[in-house]
Amino acid sequence: MSVVYDFTGKVVLITGSSAGMGEGIALLFAKSGANVVITGRNAERVAKVAKQCTDVSPKQLTALEVVGNLTNKEDCNRLIETTVQTFGKIDVLVNNAGIDCLVEITDECYYEKFLTTINTNLNIAVYMTHKCVPYLAKTRGNIINIATIGAKRASSDSSPYNISKAALIMFTKCMAAELGPKHHIRVNVVNPGITLTDFECESMGFNREESDRKLTAIGIQLPVGRVGQVSDTASIVGYLASNAAEFITGSEYVADGGQLVGNVFDSNTDY
């Protein structure tokens, strides 16, 4: 990341921040002086990322750890309440929590996996936004949602994921139109392409060797010659949350290394 942001005094809540993309986003905000909230289902991972954030914080600010399953409303409520009780406010909400799966419509388990994916990728973001609006209105804060370039095209075996993220993009636009005039809250969405994280291994059932081989093969086909790093997406999130983007709302930002324009896809590569 070549640009250094200053989020001193800001409180940033990132869902799905105990690994992968969310971890990278949390580290960027921590490096930039923000108080960050780390949340996930695995207490060990949450603690690990929280410590990393504290270590890179210019003033060694202690990251807040909240362990929970955000598909439960009670855990969402506890996350928000704990954040406000600890820091007194919320300035930025990053809706990053997400899962993926490879499943076809004819599979017996399709509908169950569809519901699980929608609940995680869309419903959490909707509920967190709904509950955080009163706090974000007080700080004239902003929301950044993490979708995917997979929402921009059809694929044969990732329909639950693509549908959930396409809906998240429309939710972003609707909220930008609604929350700007009434509450002075900006809302934007980032669409990453294929990115080097453990997401594919854990969510899609690939082992590390398979994943690395696949990512390397795809990366050399991209116009920029490599797959994405979490910092590529995190830097855009930082920009959208900053004062430099105060005139931007309802926008989609693509960070895919040219994957869309280069038509670099197969049935298992859409993120």
CA distances from 116 to 122, 125, 167, 249 (A): 10, 14, 15, 29
Which 8-state DSSP code applies to residue 91?
-
Estimate to the nearest angstrom the gap between the alpha carbon of 197 and the chain centroid.
13
127 is catalytic: no
Q: Give the bridge partners for 65, in sequence order.
A: 38
Residue whose structure tokens are 């983007």: 245
Q: Which element (helix H / strand E) includes 110?
A: helix 110-118
Q: Give the bridge partners for 37, in sequence order.
A: 13, 64
- What's the CA gap between 111 and 124, in Å, rounded? 19
Q: Which of 5, 135, 161, 253 is catalytic?
A: 161
Phi then psi for 66, rounded to 5 degrees? Answer: -135, 110
Active-site amino acid positions: 161
